[in-house]
């Protein structure tokens, strides 16, 4: 197995080691290439360095074998987005090079197999360091399995980013701890192979391209938005989920299928989205805290049923892991373009709330809060996720013990026993009617999506109708104080405001930082309740003459929501990106500056 | 315990049905059977679709739910999974169950969740004023289209365990079938599917027609209702002859859907004490998966 | 059969005959009571008098036997709404009396069967004339069929409203022209029976309660909104419809099922709404002009597919016969509460248009226009109907010959033969791509709801995506000049503006008239294109400091649409009625005045 | 006429499928049969669902359409009604057709519209990365749930006229079945339902398993594929034995749905000249109904 390693690989002329505190490493290839493994190894490495991590993918299709690029950003500061360019690109095939090479920083590094692809002309700065290495040939010839190329690659990469060998080996041991000793051994040998290559090229333990800092950052976890939302739901007592596979929401179904049964709960894969939400409705009516979820097309199919929950007063959490629409659209691309549907979809008027987390920690909190709010107000609560579903980030370790479980006006059999009379849809000041679930003696009641009287009997008389509509609307007012306000940050003497949602949070912060450097000061505002539009947000739109509304959709859906709620149109400037990729910091800076000129 | 006697809540209303509507017979059979089996209203959840049929839940004195059109089966399945202590009865019309609800019917047959499903078949959409339903022979638009036979459909799905057909003009048999259905579901043996011929006097008065067509297979000693293939052959033959078999036409043994979920830690999600300390520990264990 | 008639019925003390030019007659009873027949007979009578008619029902449930009240207004001026009170109420049962008696005008007439019901106390003015008559007893005893009570009733009614006997007999002959001579004879005898009653009471040919004018009004038809929309569609070449029964949209399916086959077209009753819209999509892709329709719950189920039409560029007309929501709501009650769903429903952004007719004539025109616009712009066009679906009105005879059939950029085989290259999704300035349907040699193409290149092949690259989104949006700009502007009327020096949609048109006009009489002048504006919000409407919202937005829904959906499009929130006052019943003129006057005080 | 030779439009792309995916075999059979029967691409409309299977329309060189998930059958029905001159081929996966599309399958069986429906059955959701589909035996969530057998389902609906099953590992038979299906549909005899066992090598590699389970009924001389009841009995028996029958398993004669519509004035709505003077006259006649 030493043949190739002994080949005298031409030493390259590497510049002096550069210390950086922020790095983006991209590994790209076919889906089956195991690019995920390299990223996982790098993740271990950077995590233990105490860096903040941001990990996302760019995949063309979900079929195994489709092109996939996985990006990992590690930084001493929290970022929550990618950087403009990649510092290191490791490309396993032609498509990877073609698609990703242009995004490598001028002083970056490209590692690829030149026997497979040519570098595209004119897009790569001459200052980029290019390393060519026949990964798979080495892996197959030397270790008899293509799979091992990942560790070869990791070996080389560890020298590029200046990871001491012991640290790197620690990562391999951690990553493959469930493998047989022999397989672990093979992987370690592949890693050595990578190191030998590096040595031959002049990338030694002493002379790496980059060197990365270490910082103390205990009590962190790395988690993606879907997992965190599912976790928040479970932590708040959520014990029933029904869904149907769809990119990028499937992970929630998977996560809960694996974990709910331990907690005495059930997760069901239904035959379609209508079945999913109605199974969920059935469960929710028995009193178990219930969630369903999907992405745009599935949520569109659920619209009739969501309105039904609003009408019939059924507590349900609905997660929409948004993706690029319309219709089937681009399933693996990001967008924030279901907001209008969530706020205005389905027939008729009914109470609903849309919450929008901006990072995994908020996913956890909002997953829990939505579960409580649904139970309290007996109504549908949407969680609007975006690229967060496809992104992992480091976050402060969740505090599961501090999650409260609130039951609102749910009645026990004892409560009912004390009552003289029970009306399911009793008209109350809060709009919330005490709720007895099936099984409780004496409290038999009728739940319906038709208009009804307090007993749940279908009636159409006018004053009753009006009273019932008003009662349902009041529920939103009742929980309004519980709805999370916006996160606001930036320069508080700025004269420019910028509003964004969800995943844009990170990139907006980075843009803010850069703008500050050139003397442009902005105040940032990210509502965590999208609907109803809360007063703090309306006040923000009135506070500045120039308020940007930055969103990932074509029609300015959030802008319309804001204006619909009374935000002054003349103050608002709409910035929209809808090509399926999130803003990079420089793009957002440019977009903001272009409007300011 | 008599449900209605102990209620603190609504008084079941008078049916809105036309005089002579078959649905009265269905309601009577259900009430009779609940009483005969001493099933308490508060432990019973009647879920109904949309249609004239879809008002039956209002007349029983049990917990009742009015689903969206065509969705009653998934909803009832959710109930059955979340709280197996309830007697779950789904009910609706042929339009609700076989047209818009056809996909769910297929999958509910396949899953075999423990509950009763009553379809009040009148071959029309009563509530929307008389359009053809999937069980209408020779529908106006495409007269050659065959009527759907839901029992045959159920026989073709190998998870089914109880397929029966009654007729509101045969109340004694109907009562018996209804009781058997309730017992099947309550014993957690799976889905008790009971189609009831329930004529719509206003838009498709089939009393005399069906009276002439039905044939009681419960009374046929040579009929083996535990043999799926034979049940299918018999039913197909009778269809050819223009006859409609009544009775408990197929009875099988196959684990119920709910039994797949209700094991180990999972008993009744609806009744789980989510604030219990051991649950907190389990959550901490999940968190530990994320420690690196 | 003369026994009862000969009973000396106590003569009543009727006031002198009053000449009126505007009358509301209500016939109420159980659905099976044949109240429709009496209304039909009255309709003949008033139609021949050249009056404008407005005919609507108030029904509790669709089941035969449920309570139903049918109202007919006849007036010398066009009205397009009910009046505040009924001039005549004929009530066949207790419920009819209980529900309707309170709405009888102080100088009105109530006819009912006192053996069946008591008049409710305190709600009927002592000045109301009350006539008690044992309808069914007469009909059954005398004519052996309850059915004939309708003609007994009509006889009496004709004396109440001062219809000469010959005119009334003409109506009976017209109504029953398809019956056997014997049945006609029975009906005429029943009518005579009614007259004898009237005579006995003192209502004679010479002394009626009311007398009605006659006016020339040729070339009219009486039609309801559903029929008119279906007709407009057919007139513009619409030849395919797929639907699923639902109140109040079923009539469109019925109408087209009966008539399209004569025209070489097809109407299909599908197994559900998703099937309906997708059968329609399949048909539309072959080039036939296609429509689907439903009411709120069904339209909610179609949302995914509507977005698909927007994405895949499939021409489709979708009628929403709105009813009171949310969820199943109140199927027979009116509302305008799907506007938000139509404008913002479904996932992602795609081009769409919402048109809203205000009377049957506009239903016809808009039915035709929508059909052409869908074909031209290859996109979904919604028609938002409201109470119009449940209302018949007189209208100027439609001019079917003047309806243009426009094909937009649809290619023939010959066109394609001339082309060197054919791209289904060619990016053009107008956004509209020439369209070749299956069957044309050489033009094979791929239609998809995924993002695609010009050939229709699925791609996710960013610039293409952006270009395709922009192209689709441009189509709306291209047809914008064709979108119908608002109808505007009223005082053009007014300082108060009022905006309404659809069916509110008539009642707003009557309110305007009444307000003028007390010196309050308003300018009325009814957009016929609800989405996109057109400039004439935006200009209107800016023109007045006080602009009322009157709508039949709880949340102010149209208000939000207007504000979302930039209308100044500070000018707008929202008036909403959402109890399921349309505004009556006095209610709207009061609501407007209350805000103006 | 060779479709691809005369195209002015897209060049069919290379499949995106994993190497070894069964779907290649389906594509090959379709292309082979279209050529063998000389079916022009421009007269053919291939409508596909969503899934790995749902990309087949991109590789054929015919008119192609990518439906919403589960909706390909109604869409194709709309095409068949509107333009009977086209050869209509619906295609999709088992998830697309049997899970979310199950209701439409039922009703399409019942209607029997003249078109081919190809289901590429791999017992998983390939595109979404390997979840159980309705044809998966022992699904993870509820292992006792029975796999759906769509042929048995089709047999239970009395309007069906062509029910066949092929296997991509039996290409000769598959080609034959595909040609028969196309001929059935093109002769306006109704729905030609062809389920093809098409393994997903990535998430559920069933090549060896299915190879051992299949049994060719085309080769069985005693099998009468025109007898619905016998076909059902045979299929149920084979299921019991863990076998999967291949071949043209049922062939019936029942008028097609389209034939109910295509009569009198209705020939092909898509090709109707709506501007013709007689159409104007017909509209005026309708208007006359409203004259009073
Ligand atoms: C989504 C939706 N589509 C359509 C309807 C209208 N609708 C109400 S009941 C019904 C059919 C009723 O027929 P069936 O289920 O046979 O019940 P029956 O009235 O005959 O007892 C329909 C189509 C609806 N309520 N919701
Ligand atoms: C409404 C909707 N729900 C879910 C999805 C996600 N989805 C895409 S393909 C697919 C299933 C694919 O399985 P199958 O039809 O068996 O095709 P295969 O990939 O196995 O060929 C699902 C669930 C979707 N696109 N649309
Ligand atoms: S319309 Fe028909 S189904 Fe409905 S209540 Fe009347 S008789 Fe029964
Ligand atoms: S994932 Fe499975 S079904 Fe999809 S292409 Fe690969 S092998 Fe075929
Ligand atoms: Mg029915
Ligand atoms: Mg599959």
Is D131 a pocket residue for ligand 4 (Cβ < 6 Å)?
no
CB contact under 8 A, B9 and A443: yes
pLDDT of residue A5: 41
| Interface probe with C: pick from D274, D275, D278, D280, most Cβ of C within 10 Å | D274
Q: Which residues in A113-211 belong to E strands, given as ranges?
A: 129-132, 210-211
Give the residues of chain D that fall short of pLDDT 70. 1-6
pLDDT of residue A117: 72
- Identify the CA nearest to A229 among candidates A74, A381, A77: A381
Task: Name the band, by pLDDT with cuts 50, 70 and 90, for residue A6.
Answer: very low
CA angle A236, A242, A245 (to 5 degrees): 120
Å from CA of B124 to ligand 1 middle = 9
Min distance B156 CA to chain D CA atoms (Å):
5
CB contact under 8 A, C272 and B141: no
Strand order in the sheet with A380-385: A266-269, A238-243, A289-294, A316-321, A380-385, A353-355, A529-531
pLDDT of residue C4: 42
Is C63 a pocket residue for ligand 1 (Cβ < 6 Å)?
no
Q: Output the CA–CA distances (angstroms, integers) from residue C421 to A510, C444, C464, in the order listed.
A: 47, 11, 19
Strand order in the sheet with C52-59: C129-132, C104-112, C86-91, C22-30, C67-75, C52-59, C391-396, C220-224
Residues 6 or more apart from D232 whose CB is under 8 A from it? B156, B229, B232, B233, B236, D152, D155, D156
Residue count of chain B: 292
Cβ neighbours of C264 in D, within 8 Å: 265-267, 269, 272, 279
CA angle C393, C396, C398 (to 5 degrees): 105
Is D21 a pocket residue for ligand 4 (Cβ < 6 Å)?
yes
Indicate the DSSP class of residue B166.
E
**CA-CA distance, C80 to C315, in Å (whole number)?**
32
- Identify the CA nearest to A495 among candidates A568, A547, A549, A538: A547
Question: Of B70, B127, B202, which is closest to C272 when you measure between CB atoms?
Answer: B70
Question: Strand, helix or coil at D7?
Answer: coil
Kindly report which listed range (A588-592, B10-14, D172-176, D233-237) carries the lowest average pLDDT score: B10-14
CB contact under 8 A, C65 and B18: yes
Contacting subunits of A (3+ beta carbon pairs below 8 A): B, C, D
Indicate the DSSP class of residue A445.
-
In this structure, the residues whose C-beta lies within 6 A of any atom of ligand 2 are A 244-246, 273, 297-298, 301, 328; D 49-53, 69, 92-96, 120, 122, 124-128, 133, 200
Cβ neighbours of A445 in B, within 8 Å: 9-10, 63-64
Q: What is the pLDDT of residues A401-426, one digit of tens each?
A: 999 999 999 999 999 999 999 999 99
pLDDT of residue B144: 83
CB contact under 8 A, B66 and A443: no
Q: Which two tokens stand for residue C261?
A: 């086959």
Cβ neighbours of A285 in B, within 8 Å: 45, 65, 75, 78-79
Min distance A71 CA to chain C CA atoms (Å):
18
For the CA of D15, the nearest atom of ligand 4: 5
**HSE of C501 in the Cβ direction (CA atoms, 13 Å)?**
33
**Candidates D47, D54, D70, D95: which one to mutate for ligand 2, based on the most atoms within 8 Å of Cβ?**
D95
Give this complex's ipTM.
0.97
- Dihedral Cα C109, C111, C116, C121, nearest 10 deg: 0
- Identify the CA nearest to B218 among candidates B177, B188, B252: B177
Å from CA of A356 to ligand 5 middle = 43
Sign of CA dihedral C79, C84, C85, C91: positive
Indicate the DSSP class of residue B200.
B
Question: Of D104, D269, D283, which is closest to C235 when you measure between CB atoms?
Answer: D283
| Interface probe with B: pick from D71, D103, D136, most Cβ of B within 10 Å | D103
pLDDT of residue C95: 83
CB contact under 8 A, C66 and B69: no
- Identify the CA nearest to B94 among candidates B83, B105, B85: B105
Sign of CA dihedral D250, D251, D254, D257: positive
pLDDT of residue A93: 82
Q: Which two tokens stand for residue A130?
A: 């290019």
pLDDT over 90 at A386, yes or no: yes
Ligand in closest contact with the CA of D22:
4
Task: Name the band, by pLDDT with cuts 50, 70 and 90, for residue A2.
Answer: very low
> Are β-strands D63-66 and C446-448 bridged in parallel, bridged antiparallel, or unpaired?
parallel
Min distance B72 CA to chain C CA atoms (Å):
14
- What's the start-to-end Cα distance of chain D, in Å? 57
Q: Which two tokens stand for residue A246?
A: 């769809």
Min distance C118 CA to chain D CA atoms (Å):
39
> Are β-strands C104-112 and C129-132 bridged in parallel, bridged antiparallel, or unpaired?
parallel
pLDDT over 80 at A138, yes or no: no
In the A/D pair of chains, how many CB contacts fall below 8 A?
55
Q: Note whether B270 contacts D: Cβ–Cβ < 8 A.
A: no
pLDDT of residue A114: 73
Query: Residue whose CA is closest, atom 2 of ligand 3?
Result: B200
Q: What is the pLDDT of residues A283-312, one digit of tens each?
A: 999 999 999 999 999 999 999 999 999 999
Kindly report which listed range (A434-443, C57-66, D10-19, D185-194) carries the lowest average pLDDT score: C57-66
Sign of CA dihedral C452, C454, C457, C461: negative
Cβ neighbours of C448 in D, within 8 Å: 65-66
Kindly report which listed range (A486-490, A535-539, C131-135) carries the lowest average pLDDT score: C131-135
> Are β-strands A67-75 and A22-30 bridged in parallel, bridged antiparallel, or unpaired?
antiparallel
Residues 6 or more apart from A542 whose CB is under 8 A from it? A567, A568, A571
pLDDT of residue D6: 63
Higher pLDDT, C14 or A457: A457
Q: What is the pLDDT of residues C557-582, one digit of tens each?
A: 999 999 999 999 999 999 999 999 99
Indicate the DSSP class of residue B97.
I
Name C228's bridge partners.
none
Contacting subunits of D (3+ beta carbon pairs below 8 A): A, B, C
pLDDT of residue C14: 84
Name B146's bridge partners.
none
Q: Note whether D228 contacts B: Cβ–Cβ < 8 A.
A: yes
**CA-CA distance, B41 to B28, in Å (whole number)?**
15
Is B82 a pocket residue for ligand 3 (Cβ < 6 Å)?
no
- Preceding peptide of A326 cis, ω within 30°: yes
pLDDT over 60 at C113, yes or no: yes
- Contact yes or no for A112/A44 (Cβ under 8 A): no
| Interface probe with D: pick from C424, C444, C446, most Cβ of D within 10 Å | C444
- Contact yes or no for C451/A563 (Cβ under 8 A): no
CB contact under 8 A, D100 and A61: no
Q: What is the pLDDT of residues A210-267, one digit of tens each?
A: 999 999 877 899 999 999 999 999 999 999 999 999 999 999 999 999 999 999 999 9
**CA-CA distance, C209 to C25, in Å (whole number)?**
13
Q: Which residue of D has its CA nearest to C313?
A: D65
**% of chain A surpassing 70 pLDDT:** 95
pLDDT over 90 at A347, yes or no: yes
pLDDT over 80 at A59, yes or no: no
Query: Residue whose CA is closest, atom 23 of ligand 1?
Result: C245
**CA-CA distance, A503 to A388, in Å (whole number)?**
6
Indicate the DSSP class of residue C352.
-
pLDDT of residue D90: 98
- Name the burial class of residue B6, with classes exposed (0-12), middle (13-18) and buried (19+) by CB atoms within 10 angstroms of its CB: middle
Q: What is the pLDDT of residues B95-136, one digit of tens each?
A: 999 999 999 999 999 999 999 999 999 999 999 999 999 999
Query: Residue whose CA is closest, atom 9 of ligand 1?
Result: B51
Residue count of chain A: 597
- Name the burial class of residue C118, with classes exposed (0-12), middle (13-18) and buried (19+) by CB atoms within 10 angstroms of its CB: exposed
Cβ neighbours of B66 in C, within 8 Å: 328
Is B55 a pocket residue for ligand 1 (Cβ < 6 Å)?
no
CB contact under 8 A, C564 and A566: no
CB contact under 8 A, D145 and B156: no
Q: What is the pLDDT of residues A534-570, one digit of tens each?
A: 999 999 999 999 999 999 999 999 999 999 999 999 9
Kindly report which listed range (A182-186, B142-146, D253-257) carries the lowest average pLDDT score: B142-146
Contacting subunits of C (3+ beta carbon pairs below 8 A): A, B, D
pLDDT over 50 at B284, yes or no: yes
- Contact yes or no for D143/D109 (Cβ under 8 A): no
Write out C121-153 in H/E/C secondary structure: CCCCCCCCEEEECCHHHHHHHHHCCHHHHHHHH
Task: Name the band, by pLDDT with cuts 50, 70 and 90, for residue C253.
Answer: very high
Min distance D200 CA to chain C CA atoms (Å):
22
Higher pLDDT, C94 or C86: C86
Min distance A343 CA to chain B CA atoms (Å):
21
Min distance D133 CA to chain A CA atoms (Å):
9
CB contact under 8 A, A564 and C568: no
Q: Output the CA–CA distances (angstroms, integers) from residue A38 to A22, A44, A182, A224, in the order listed.
A: 19, 10, 19, 18
Higher pLDDT, C13 or A358: A358
Ligand in closest contact with the CA of D203:
4
Q: What is the pLDDT of residues D151-167, one digit of tens each?
A: 999 999 999 999 999 99
Q: b or e along C24-59 (b: 16 or more beta carbons within 10 Å of the residue's beta carbon)?
A: bbbbbbbbbbbbbbbbbbbbbbbbbbbbbbbbbbbb
**CA-CA distance, C376 to C406, in Å (whole number)?**
7
């Amino acid at each position: 197995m030493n043949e190739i390693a002994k080949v005298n690989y031409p030493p390259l002329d590497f510049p002096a080691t550069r210390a950086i505190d922020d790095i983006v490493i991209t590994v790209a290839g076919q889906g089956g290439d195991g690019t995920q493994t390299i990223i996982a190894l790098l993740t271990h490495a950077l995590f233990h360095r105490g860096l903040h991590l941001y990990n996302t993918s760019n995949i063309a299709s979900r079929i195994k074998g489709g092109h996939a690029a996985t990006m990992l950003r590690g930084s001493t500061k929290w970022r929550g987005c990618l950087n403009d360019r990649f510092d290191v690109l490791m490309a396993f095939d032609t498509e990877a090079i073609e698609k990703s090479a242009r995004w490598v920083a001028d002083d970056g590094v490209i590692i690829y197999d030149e026997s497979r692809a040519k570098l595209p002309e004119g897009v790569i700065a001459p200052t980029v360091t290019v390393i060519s290495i026949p990964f798979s040939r080495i892996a197959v010839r030397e270790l008899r399995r293509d799979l091992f190329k990942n560790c070869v690659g990791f070996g080389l990469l560890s020298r590029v980013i200046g990871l001491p060998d012991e640290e790197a080996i620690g990562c391999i041991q951690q990553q493959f701890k469930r493998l047989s000793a022999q397989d672990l051994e093979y992987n370690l040998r592949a890693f050595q192979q990578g190191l030998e290559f590096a040595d031959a090229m002049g990338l030694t333990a002493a002379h790496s391209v980059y060197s990365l800092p270490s910082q103390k950052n205990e009590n962190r976890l790395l988690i993606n938005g879907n997992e965190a939302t599912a976790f928040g739901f479970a932590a708040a007592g959520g014990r029933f989920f029904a869904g149907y596979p769809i990119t990028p929401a499937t992970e929630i179904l998977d996560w809960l299928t694996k974990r709910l049964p331990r907690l005495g709960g059930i997760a069901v894969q239904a035959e379609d989205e209508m079945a999913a939400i109605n199974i969920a409705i059935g469960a929710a009516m028995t009193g178990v805290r219930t969630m369903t979820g999907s992405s745009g097309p599935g949520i569109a199919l659920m619209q009739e049923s969501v309105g039904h929950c609003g009408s019939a007063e059924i507590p349900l959490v609905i997660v929409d892991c948004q993706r690029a629409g319309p219709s089937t659209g681009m399933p693996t691309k990001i967008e924030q373009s279901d907001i209008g549907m969530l706020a205005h979809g389905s027939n008729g008027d009914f109470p609903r709330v849309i919450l929008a987390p901006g990072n995994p920690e908020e996913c956890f909190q909002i997953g829990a809060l939505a579960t409580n709010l649904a139970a309290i107000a007996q109504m549908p609560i949407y969680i609007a996720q975006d690229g967060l579903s496809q992104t992992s980030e480091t976050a402060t370790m969740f505090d599961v013990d501090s999650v409260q479980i609130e039951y609102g006006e749910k009645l026990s059999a004892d409560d009912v026993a004390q009552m003289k009379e029970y009306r399911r849809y009793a008209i109350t000041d809060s709009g919330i009617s005490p709720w007895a679930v099936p099984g409780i003696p004496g409290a038999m009641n009728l739940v319906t999506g038709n208009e009804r009287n307090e007993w749940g009997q279908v009636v159409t008389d006018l004053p009753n109708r009006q009273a019932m509509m008003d009662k349902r609307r009041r529920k939103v007012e009742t929980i309004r104080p519980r709805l999370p306000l916006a996160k606001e940050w930036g320069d508080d003497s700025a004269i420019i405001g910028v509003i964004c949602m969800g995943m844009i949070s990170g990139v907006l912060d980075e843009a803010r930082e850069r703008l500050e450097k050139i003397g442009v000061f902005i105040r940032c505002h990210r509502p965590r309740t999208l609907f109803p539009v809360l007063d703090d947000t309306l006040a923000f739109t009135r506070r500045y003459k120039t308020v940007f509304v930055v969103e990932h959709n074509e029609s300015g859906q959030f802008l319309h929501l804001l204006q619909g709620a009374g935000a002054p149109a003349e103050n608002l400037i709409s910035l929209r990106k809808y090509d399926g990729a999130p803003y990079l910091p420089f793009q957002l800076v440019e977009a903001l500056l272009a409007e300011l000129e | 315990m008599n449900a209605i006697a102990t209620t603190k809540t609504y008084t079941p209303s008078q049916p809105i049905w036309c005089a002579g509507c078959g649905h009265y017979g269905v309601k009577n059979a259900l009430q009779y059977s609940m009483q005969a089996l001493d099933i308490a209203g508060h432990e019973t959840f009647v879920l109904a679709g949309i249609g004239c049929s879809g008002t039956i839940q209002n007349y029983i004195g049990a917990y009742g739910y009015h689903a969206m059109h065509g969705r009653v089966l998934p909803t009832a399945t959710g109930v059955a999974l979340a709280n197996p202590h309830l007697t779950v009865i789904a009910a609706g019309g042929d339009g609700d169950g076989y047209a818009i609800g056809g996909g769910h019917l297929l999958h509910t047959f396949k899953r075999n969740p423990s509950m009763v499903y009553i379809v009040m078949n009148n071959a029309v959409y009563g509530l929307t004023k008389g359009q053809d339903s999937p069980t209408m022979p020779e529908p106006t638009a495409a007269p050659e289209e065959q009527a759907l036979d839901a029992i045959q459909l159920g026989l073709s799905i190998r998870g089914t365990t109880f397929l029966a057909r009654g007729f509101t003009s045969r109340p004694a048999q109907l009562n018996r079938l209804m009781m058997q259905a309730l017992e099947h579901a309550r014993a957690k043996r799976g889905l008790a599917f009971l189609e009831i011929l329930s004529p719509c006097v206003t838009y498709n008065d089939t009393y005399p027609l069906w009276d002439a067509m039905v044939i009681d297979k419960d009374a046929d000693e040579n009929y083996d209702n535990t043999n799926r293939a034979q049940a299918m052959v018999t039913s197909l033959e009778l269809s050819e002859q223009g006859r409609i078999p009544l009775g408990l036409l197929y009875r099988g043994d196959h684990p119920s859907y709910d039994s797949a979920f209700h094991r180990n830690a999972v008993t009744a999600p609806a009744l789980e004490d989510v604030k219990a300390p051991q649950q907190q520990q389990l959550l901490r264990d999940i968190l530990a998966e994320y420690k690196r």
